[in-house]
Chain A
Amino acid sequence: DTAVSQTPKYLVTQMGNDKSIKCEQNLGHDTMYWYKQDSKKFLKIMFSYNNKELIINETVPNRFSPKSPDKAHLNLHINSLELGDSAVYFCASSQPSARSNTQYFGPGTRLTVL
Chain B
Amino acid sequence: GNSVTQMEGPVTLSEEAFLTINCTYTATGYPSLFWYVQYPGEGLQLLLKATKADDKGSNKGFEATYRKETTSFHLEKGSVQVSDSAVYFCALGKAAGNKLTFGGGTRVLVKP
- Which of A's residues lie within 8 Å of B, judged by CB? 30-31, 33, 40-45, 48, 50, 55-56, 58, 90, 92, 94, 96-108
1/0 contact string of B68-112 vs chain A (CB within 8 Å): 000000000000000000010100011111111110110100000
Interface Cβ pair total, 8 Å cutoff: 76
- The prevalent SS among residues of B at the interface is strand
Contact flag A96-B44 (CB < 8 Å), given A41-B87, A101-B93: no
CB-defined contacts of B102 to chain A, threshold 8 Å: 42-44
Contact flag A98-B96 (CB < 8 Å), given A41-B87, A42-B102: yes
Q: When A and B form their complex, which 8 residue pairs have the shortest distance between CB atoms, in order from nearest?
A: A45-B99, A105-B44, A107-B43, A43-B102, A101-B93, A41-B105, A96-B97, A31-B97
Partner of A48, one of B36, B87, B99: B99
CB-defined contacts of B46 to chain A, threshold 8 Å: 102-104
